[in-house]
Chain A
Amino acid sequence: QSALTQPASVSGSPGQSITISCTGTSSDVGSYNLVSWYQHHPGKAPKLMIYEVSKRPSGVSNRFSGSKSGNTASLTISGLQAEDEADYYCCSYAGSSTFGIFGGGTKLTVL
């Protein structure tokens, strides 16, 4: 099964909002509300930012929000800050045989 499709890069200025898309199929994103998003600063441990499409773990800023429509999930970051510059990955449950599938990652640049 192919990886979920994410844009390779997005950018925005401090204070702006950006959205990262994550497109799958009816076998993964479209069938389950089990999409999660991870922030990864190179050299550090990836950090869970969103789970179950739109839930935020304790300690994650409310500037981060998630949503889903059909086969596409989205991560929105509002009020961009320099520290948000990182790679972002989506992940979805993909059924009992494939189990888990990730996106290719999106590099966020804060201009």
Chain B
Amino acid sequence: QVQLQESGPGLVKPSETLSLTCTVSGGSVSSGTYYWSWIRQPPGKGLEWIGYVYYSGSTNYNPSLKSRVTISVDTSKNQFSLKLSSVTAADTAVYYCARLVLWFGELNFFDYWGQGTLVTVSS
């Protein structure tokens, strides 16, 4: 059974960089079949796709966040990571990592998710 677990600071100061890591167990981030994604949910709002990374390091980001987001993969640790720079209170959210299946490059579905971690942006 594939499991994903988010980790990282729960509190980040405005203008700083949010950094989270997702550790994958029961599966390999090096699998060529899957992509590895970050999704977030601000309090009281819906889900928002942030971006994804492939084991090769190739990425795709939500255009609305692209200028501030970096997603990377560490195959030796079976992990992938999210960095979001210049954060504001609007970036306060529960952040989820998930395994993504594409259909000829198009988003098909997220089949495994982590439980999510709340990150609050506040001084």
Interface class of chain A by DSSP:
mixed
Highest count of chain B CB atoms <10 Å: which of A43, A44, A100: A100
Shortest beta-carbon distance from A60 to chain B in Å: 11
B108 at the interface (CB under 8 A from A): yes
Interface string of B39-51 (1 = CB under 8 A from A): 1000001111100
The 8 Å CB contact of B110, one of A36, A52, A96, A98, is A36
Is A102 in contact with B48, judged by CB distance below 8 angstroms? yes
Bound complex: CA A98 to CA B64 (Å): 9
Interface string of B92-109 (1 = CB under 8 A from A): 000010100101011111
Please count how many residues in chain A sit with their CB below 8 Å of the partner chain's CB atoms. 29
Is B47 in contact with A45, judged by CB distance below 8 angstroms? no
Cβ < 8 Å to B, chain A residues 28-85: 32, 34, 36, 38, 43-48, 51-52, 57
Interface residues, chain B, with chain A CB atoms under 8 Å away: 4, 39, 45-49, 60, 62-63, 96, 98, 101, 103, 105-116
A-B pairs with beta carbons under 8 Å apart, 10 shown: A43-B115, A45-B4, A46-B98, A48-B111, A48-B112, A51-B111, A93-B108, A99-B60, A100-B49, A101-B49
| New A-B contacts (11) at CB < 8 Å, excluding given A44-B115, A45-B113 | A3-B46, A45-B115, A46-B98, A48-B109, A51-B108, A51-B111, A52-B108, A96-B105, A98-B62, A99-B49, A99-B107
